[in-house]
């Protein structure tokens, strides 16, 4: 027999957190999509949603076990690093996708932060990451190439 307990209040709380994580990641995905990167409007919100979901499940399934929760978070960080690595493409001496990979990693931090009720961290990570994605290409164009591969200026 399956023990099933439906908790409406918990469902609403989790839905709200998952929605917040999704919403905070959406502008990052939009930026990458607009720049025609390998990851975009689908990837970023899903990474935030999944990161948040993993932490919510771990927190609720293993209450009072910070070691277990830290192992789950460590797994998320490692797994997202693997996903982000897939966004990095090297062609000869050119490397593209590092900003997308780093943004995917930051998106995981957004999901984790929201799940742990550290909304201020999630919002700040989202804002600073979005600002970097929008402003840094402009700064790099003003500063100039400085010997770096120009293709990276628009990563």
Q: What is the pLDDT of residue 34?
A: 82
3-state secondary structure of 63: coil
Kindly report the backbone phi and psi dihedral angles of residue 75, in degrees, each rounded to the nearest multiple of 5, phi listed first.
-65, -40
Q: What is the pLDDT of residue 151?
A: 46
Kindly report the backbone phi and psi dihedral angles of residue 16, in degrees, each rounded to the nearest multiple of 5, phi listed first.
-65, -45
Residue with tokens 């995917």: 104
Q: What is the pLDDT of residue 149?
A: 43
Average pLDDT, consecutive stretches of 10 residues, N- to C-terminus, the chain (155 residues): 82 96 95 77 92 96 92 94 80 82 94 98 97 81 57 46
Task: Write down the domain spans for the chain.
Answer: 8-154
Q: What is the pLDDT of residue 38?
A: 66
Query: Nearest CA to 25 among 132, 150, 109, 99?
Result: 109
């Amino acid at each position: 027999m399956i023990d099933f307990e439906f908790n409406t209040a918990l469902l609403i709380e989790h839905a709200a957190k998952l929605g917040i994580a999704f919403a905070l990641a959406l502008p990052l995905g939009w930026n990458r999509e607009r720049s025609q990167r390998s990851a975009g409007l689908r990837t970023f919100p899903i990474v935030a949603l999944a990161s948040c979901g993993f932490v919510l499940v771990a927190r609720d399934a293993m209450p009072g076990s910070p070691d277990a929760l830290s192992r789950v978070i460590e797994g998320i960080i490692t797994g997202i690093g693997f996903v982000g690595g897939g966004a990095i493409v090297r062609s000869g001496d050119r490397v593209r996708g590092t900003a997308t990979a780093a943004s995917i990693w930051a998106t995981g931090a957004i999901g984790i932060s929201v799940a742990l009720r550290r909304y201020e961290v999630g919002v700040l990570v989202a804002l600073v990451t979005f600002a970097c994605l929008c402003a840094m290409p402009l700064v790099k164009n003003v500063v100039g190439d400085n010997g770096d591969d120009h293709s990276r200026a628009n990563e």
